[in-house]
Chain A
């Protein structure tokens, strides 16, 4: 019996994602698999792949070990549906060879907010600007919305919150 499981984390380089295969191979050894494939679905069902990748998926060979770092894939914040497929040469009844998880990356929004906190630390009187403060509240709320939506596996709501936050980031001069 095999049940595929994995975790997703972000490395200190905010463009990179680390996928870790946490499956238990005691029931079906790694030799019974032809390989592993990772798909990072955006809300429009297209997949996110590193630059130069010609397939819709990211190959995760067993020779890579239990973890793989996907580099240069996050050029902005996303809420993604991460899917890993284990390609079994000898599928067994009851085993599960695919796993999916909604993961949201907010480092660009967090970086923007931290930049604003730095400005505030240097110039506390910014709080007297009510528009500045209102915009910060909106930014912060949208970040929280994206986190909360992810807890409920609601990728669309999370991505919508990200998009609303990026409207403020992309029009910074209007809002801050």
Chain B
């Protein structure tokens, strides 16, 4: 029993192979003065587009299986490279520019009301430390009762932040008061 290959996979092999074939034909024309199959790129495109059309109007047509196998046959020597290209392009990685390691992105978003049970600060406090590693500098934003708190402004209530490898230390310009609603937003690179 054979392995089922979706028609769209054959079409993708065809799309890549037609360009690989065109590239090889161009090189052979330039460096060898000719190519044994100068029409191969065109033929792959013709067959691929024709199957694409048939698959679009009637994907259940039995003939698609035979014509797809013919397309696969035409792709021949390019199939291996086409598979590599096809698979390498499916997903991307996020790289931490500092460490070069793969990461995912998290967005911690602690929120509390000062003085209430579970609050991370008490009335009179001026500092809070978030033990999140790899927080992007600068990414921290703070809102107080829905309004954004400015950074390092001596003329009004503001904050400064120190980004360390394993935490972020936030210092407010004045002591916080009961019932103030704080919401913190930050971007964290989490190593995988």
Min Cβ gap A124→B in Å is 7
From B48-56, B141-149, B184-192, the one touching the partner chain is B48-56
A110, A117, A122 — most chain B CB neighbours (10 Å): A117
Query: B153-177 toward A: CB 8 Å interface, digit per residue (1/0)?
Result: 0000000000000000000000000
**Cα-based distance from A114 to B50 in the complex (angstroms):** 5
Complex contacts, A137 vs chain B, CB 8 Å: 39, 42
A121→B42 contact, CB < 8 A: no
Q: Which bracket fits the contact residues of A?
A: 10 to 19
- Given A136-B46, A140-B46, answer yes or no on A120-B70 (Cβ-Cβ < 8 Å): yes
Selected from B43, B58, B67, the residue in CB contact (under 8 A) with A12 is: B58
Number of interface residues of B (CB under 8 A): 17
**Cα-based distance from A137 to B47 in the complex (angstroms):** 12
Selected from B39, B46, B58, B67, the residue in CB contact (under 8 A) with A121 is: B67
**Interface flag for B57 (CB, 8 Å):** yes
Q: How many A-B residue pairs have CB under 8 A?
A: 40
A118→B58 contact, CB < 8 A: no
**Interface flag for A107 (CB, 8 Å):** yes
Q: Which residue of B lies closest to A10 (CB)?
A: B57
- Given A117-B46, A117-B47, A133-B39, answer yes or no on A122-B66 (Cβ-Cβ < 8 Å): yes
**Cα-based distance from A110 to B54 in the complex (angstroms):** 8
- Given A136-B46, A137-B42, A140-B46, answer yes or no on A114-B70 (Cβ-Cβ < 8 Å): no
For this complex, 20 residue pairs linking A to B, each with C-beta atoms less than 8 Å apart, are A12-B57, A107-B57, A110-B54, A113-B50, A114-B54, A114-B63, A117-B46, A117-B47, A117-B50, A117-B51, A118-B66, A118-B67, A120-B70, A121-B70, A124-B70, A127-B43, A137-B39, A137-B42, A140-B42, A140-B46
Other CB < 8 Å A-B pairs besides A113-B50, A117-B46, 6 of them?
A: A110-B54, A114-B54, A117-B47, A117-B70, A121-B66, A140-B46
Closest A-B pairs by Cβ, 6 of them: A121-B70, A117-B50, A110-B53, A114-B50, A121-B67, A114-B54
Interface residues of B (CB under 8 A from A): 39, 42-43, 46-47, 50-51, 53-54, 57-58, 63, 66-67, 69-70, 73
